[in-house]
Amino acid sequence: MARPPRYDETQLLDAAVRLAAAAGPTAVTMTAVAKEVGAPSGSVYHRFPQRPALLAELWLRTVERFQAGWLAALAAPGDPVAAAAAAARHVVAWSRLNPREAAVLLYGPDDYGRADWPAGAAERAARGTAQVRAALAGLTGRLGGADPEAVTLALVDLPLAVVRRHLRAGAPLPPGAERLAGLAATRLLAPGADTGA
Count interface residues toward its own copies (CB under 8 A).
32
For 172, counting Cβ atoms within 10 Å of its Cβ (0-12 exposed, 13-18 middle, 19+ buried), the class is exposed
Q: Would you count residue 136 as binding its own copies (CB under 8 A)?
A: no
Of 6-14, 64-72, 122-130, 169-177, the segment contacting its own copies by CB under 8 A is: 169-177
Candidates 30, 106, 122, 160: give the one binding DNA (CB under 7 A): 30
Question: What residue 195 binds from its own copies, DNA, none (CB within 5 to 8 A, per partner kind)?
Answer: its own copies
**Could you say whether residue 39 binds its own copies (CB under 8 A)?**
no
DSSP assignment letter at 176: T
> Least separation, in Å, of the C-beta of 9 and DNA?
10
Contact between 111 and its own copies (CB under 8 A)?
yes
With CB under 8 A as the contact rule, which of the stretches 48-56, 64-72, 85-93, 143-151 interacts with its own copies? 143-151
User: 109: part of which helix (H) or strand (E)?
Assistant: none
For residue 148, the one-letter residue type is P
Torsion-angle region of residue 56: left (phi > 0), alpha (psi -120 to 50) or beta?
alpha
Closer CB to DNA, 2 or 193, in the complex: 2
The amino acid occupying position 21 is A
The DSSP letter of residue 175 is T
Stretch that binds its own copies, among 35-43, 52-60, 75-83, 172-180 (CB under 8 A): 172-180
Dist. CA 114–CA 123, nearest whole Å? 11
**Taking CB under 7 A as the rule, does residue 196 contact DNA?**
no
Count CA within 13 A, CB hemisphere, residue 162.
28
CA–CA distances in Å: residue 79 to residues 38, 50, 109, 159, 189: 51, 47, 33, 20, 12
**Positive/negative CA dihedral, 69, 135, 59, 85:** negative
Figure out which of the listed residues 13, 17, 39, 158 binds DNA, where binding follows CB under 7 A: 39
Gyration radius of the chain over CA positions: 19
Q: Which stretch binds its own copies (CB under 8 A): 51-59, 92-100, 117-125, 144-152?
A: 144-152
Residue 119 in contact with DNA, rule: CB under 7 A: no
User: Does 4 interact with DNA (rule: CB under 7 A)?
Assistant: yes
What are the backbone angles phi and psi of residue 159, rounded to the nearest 5°? -60, -35
- Candidates 2, 4, 110, 144; binder of its own copies (CB under 8 A) is 110
